[in-house]
Amino acid sequence: MALFFSSLLVLAGCATQGDLEGMQRDTDNTAKEFLALQRNLYDMNKEMRDLRSEMKTLSGKMDISAKGADNLSQKMETLDSETKTRIGFLEKEMEIASQPMRRYQADLGARLDKLQIDVQNLMGRFEESKYFSQKSFEETKALKEGYQGKLDELDKRIATLNKSVDSWEKRLEAKEKEKEAKAPEPGEETEEEKSPSKAESAKTQPAAKKPEKAEKPEKKAAGGPEEAYNKAYNLFKKGDIEGAKQDFKRFLEAYPKAKYAENAHYWLGECFFSEKKYEEAILEFDEVIKKYPKGNKVPDALFRQGMAFLELKDTVNAKLIFKEVIKRFPKSDQANRARKKLKEI
């Protein structure tokens, strides 16, 4: 029992080890005194029993005299009175000795009650902390799973986009190889470019004037890349999409490294977009993004590429492209338009 009290006192922190040892010593001393009093009472009871037995023995003798009987009776009365006195004294002593024990028991009972209250409070706090910890763990787990799901979805979208880009790149390479296989020598190509004008002029004018018509393309070619680019761009502004497309292609074949090459690729992509050839437009815009990563037309090309995906009903790749525009060019007009498109999708 003392060990149980000690454990409770140490758990709640209501009593020190020294207090507990002092109480234990007091309790042991009181118990010893109580046992000593019990032994004394037992000895007195035994003495009374012996005296009574002696009295019976004496009274049983027939030859006892009256005087002896009176003396024995007085002796018995005296002994009985002394015994009662001693018993009363012992009872008082036992009462006095038992009072500290009762006080300690009452004190221990009060401390035990306080310990129980403290333990209950501690258990309540523990359960509350456990609840909030479990709740925080579950919320963290849910957030982690949500972010992991979004990351997985983003990885899938990126993988899909990469596959789409690879497919278009393969198509573009196949078209370029086919074009290279069919392309004539540089000198012959110039003659082919000139030949349509000759055929047209032959329908409207006499044969004698054919040399004059043949000289005009040579003058335009002599004008250089800027004039060739402006010619194609003017056709695009006038709405001659097919003519602009052909001229932009010729410009890129003749001047692939000219300073207007980036713009030519972009406007060629716009020509395909106008013709609703969205896959070709995406590939052409991709040329701008890859070949001229720091060029002025990259934001426009990236945004229009997203619009082409949107026209193809590929909202997954369209969203990825619009987010890329916002990420790379957050303060641009193209980024603002991309944000509006993301809200509309």
Domain boundary among 131, 147, 163: 147
- pTM comes to 0.40
Half-sphere exposure of 265 (CA within 13 A, CB side): 26
Q: What is the pLDDT of residue 267?
A: 97
The CATH number covering residue 307 comes to 1.25.40.10
Quote the distance between the C-alpha of residue 241 and its chain's center.
Answer: 53
Q: What is the mean pLDDT of residues 318-330?
A: 96
Mean pLDDT score across all residues of the chain: 76
- Tell me which residue of 343, 282, 339 sits closest to 311, measured CA to CA: 282
With 90 as the cut, is the pLDDT of residue 64 above it? no
The answer to whether residue 205 sits within a structural domain is no
**Residue 191: pLDDT band with limits 50, 70, 90:** very low
With 70 as the cut, is the pLDDT of residue 200 above it? no
- Tell me which residue of 245, 256, 315 sits closest to 287, measured CA to CA: 256
Domain boundary among 116, 147, 178: 147
**Residue 180: pLDDT band with limits 50, 70, 90:** low
The CATH number covering residue 82 comes to 1.20.120
Stretch (H or E) spanning 5: helix 2-12
Q: Do 143 and 224 belong to one domain?
A: no
Q: Do 228 and 112 belong to one domain?
A: no
Q: What is the pLDDT of residue 162?
A: 63
Q: What is the mean pLDDT of residues 128-154?
A: 74
Q: What is the pLDDT of residue 290?
A: 95
Q: What is the mean pLDDT of residues 316-322?
A: 95
Q: What is the span of the domain harbouring residue 293?
A: 218-344
**Residue 108: pLDDT band with limits 50, 70, 90:** confident
| Cβ neighbours for 220, distance < 8 A, ≥ 6 positions apart | 227, 228, 231
The CA distance from 306 to 315, in Å, is 9
DSSP secondary structure of 84-113? HHHHHHHHHHHHHHHHHHHHHHHHHHHHHH
Cα-atom radius of gyration of the chain, to the nearest Å? 58
- Number of independent structural domains in the chain: 2
